[in-house]
Chain A
């Protein structure tokens, strides 16, 4: 589904290299986790894949569903089925959460040539999905993420994911700032979306989240590249011993 080949990326302004040849193959239905110390390039990878400004790809490629995506605009990538759940969801005063969600969903449908949803149809679906994530009507009415708690913001990300039904979901430290109950709720939301046609890339610092969202493959990232890959137990190893042993091995 998503194939990343020798991806090299630097910051546009500073010419600072962040990714040093990332290789990653994610097949349909798989859940991959990326762990790694601060500054290893995990979030950059998620931003570059979803098309954020400020990065220059100096080498390598990323193909999604057979298409080279690095030249596409963020909205085109989203319409192809790529989704990034943000580590820090942005507050957008003045834009209603519902308006935002409906515009996003219908923009994607339009670009795929699918008929847009009417307000009533949309409302029915969004209410149903919001209920499962314990998002109340009041939260849906408020401006996007404005005044939301950390947990509410992350639940709102998962709601967007549930509404947009992407094929490839990238979760950037979705567990950060969540208490145990909130994390469970978010994980349940994610697990409910797991299917043979949908893949996940879960970026996290801690093994905790992976207790709830059990990955097929775990990658350790350091210094802008993947230094080790393994099964779910690799995450446990990191939890018990920290990154230092793995880094020593790599160096």
Chain B
């Protein structure tokens, strides 16, 4: 892809921060990749179904209307709360960051320090994930993001760390970069919720060490105007596990990319997502899971409910490298269309170089089951409510991917509330 004018314009709208030499080096490397490779465009294989111009343009995004009224969906959970407001870390609204088993710094602090632990991790997974598919919106993030957290977990942490992104009614356009390292035998749950900004580009690099566990649940804000691109890069060492679930309701264009590298035996990576959208909604999950070692398991369970001309995109790949025997890979993507105007575009892929593996992938696209609808209504359940029950039932498989029951319940009831509100509006 040639360097374009657009890329130059975008780059010139940011400036590189002055930081420790390691940070400058990482940022320059990302910038160099972005300059030579250019921002994504519609001719790129993995951008055929989602218009990248929402993310590429330097034009100010529109104001988002709904998000600010939303407190964190997780506010009733006992948690460590960290607040970002319009993309900036807000210390006064956040809980104390000095905790046993947890080291947290903002990246603006971490990247100033000559020998911060994150020096060997910042931008590393982003960089290694640029091949075979370029992800230059992530390079842009590594080059210029000055907000975000560097979190190091050294113990089993019971309380979830909840990152709340408050967003006021403005036209913020932000980059956030988190680096998370979960040390050997440690575990943590990270919750993310809120609208972030009118337009956001959020990136998370996660290093899951031996026998460590990473649990991640993310709820993207409810605004219809929001534009968001996210990247979750994860590296798993042996006997480790990760689970990540994302709920997306509404938005103009949301693209969630996942790159998971399984680099040790007996590790597990489960990714799940539920998306619900109305008119003008475009939501894209682009996933790349790489099995590099034997005896590992991966799951991708993604469900989308679309109505009034909404669009859902799923591009999911499982790569099983030579020698990754006994891999158990599973992938399902399903679109439920509530009318004829909506569309679900799916590109499920398997690439397998080992001969003793179980890998399955499926993708379906359908409408509400009329027989089930009649069954429910014939028992006295009104049509709208019966339809909601079936929509929730459809999403249930994805929600089941969340391991914590109380969080699962919160997500389920949020979806229910949303549907009831929809009927009233």
List residues of A whose CB falls within 8 A of some B CB: 50-53, 73-75, 77-79, 83-84, 86, 89-90, 92-95, 99-100, 103-105, 107-108, 111, 143-144, 160, 164
A-side contacts of B383, CB under 8 Å: 73, 75
CA distance A86 to B379 in the complex (A): 11
Name the CB-closest residue of A to B374: A52
Contact indicator B378/A107 (Cβ below 8 Å): no
**B375 close to A (CB within 8 Å):** yes
Q: Decide yes or no: A78 and B380 within 8 Å by CB, A92-B375, A103-B385 being known contacts.
A: yes
Contact indicator A95/B379 (Cβ below 8 Å): no
1/0 per residue, CB under 8 A from A, across B367-390: the answer is: 001111011111111110110011
1/0 per residue, CB under 8 A from A, across B130-158: the answer is: 00000000000000000000000000000
Name the CB-closest residue of B to A145: B375
A-side contacts of B22, CB under 8 Å: none
B-side contacts of A92, CB under 8 Å: 369, 372, 375-376, 390, 393
CA distance A238 to B1 in the complex (A): 80
Q: Which of B383, B389, B397 lies at the interface centre, i.e. has the most chain A CB atoms within 10 A of its CB?
A: B389
CA distance A103 to B390 in the complex (A): 13
CA distance A224 to B386 in the complex (A): 32
Contact indicator B390/A100 (Cβ below 8 Å): no
- Of the candidates B375, B392, B394, B396, the one whose C-beta lies within 8 Å of that of A90 is B375
Contact indicator B374/A103 (Cβ below 8 Å): no
CA distance A50 to B370 in the complex (A): 15
- Of the candidates A73, A79, A94, A160, the one whose C-beta lies within 8 Å of that of B392 is A94
CA distance A135 to B421 in the complex (A): 36
B-side contacts of A77, CB under 8 Å: 378
Name the CB-closest residue of A to B382: A75
Contact indicator A103/B381 (Cβ below 8 Å): yes
Q: Which of B375, B389, B395 lies at the interface centre, i.e. has the most chain A CB atoms within 10 A of its CB?
A: B375
CA distance A77 to B380 in the complex (A): 7
What are some 23 contacts across the A-B interface (CB < 8 A)? A51-B378, A53-B370, A75-B378, A75-B381, A78-B377, A78-B380, A86-B375, A89-B375, A90-B372, A92-B372, A94-B393, A94-B394, A95-B392, A99-B389, A103-B385, A104-B376, A104-B379, A104-B381, A107-B379, A108-B379, A108-B380, A144-B375, A160-B379
B-side contacts of A160, CB under 8 Å: 379
Q: Decide yes or no: A95 and B374 within 8 Å by CB, A73-B383, A160-B379 being known contacts.
A: no
**Chain B 88-139 interface residues, beta-carbon cutoff 8 Å to A:** none
Contact indicator B379/A100 (Cβ below 8 Å): yes
CA distance A144 to B393 in the complex (A): 11
Which 9 A-B pairs rank lowest in CB-CB distance, beginning with the nearest?
A94-B393, A78-B380, A104-B379, A108-B380, A94-B396, A74-B377, A90-B375, A75-B377, A95-B393
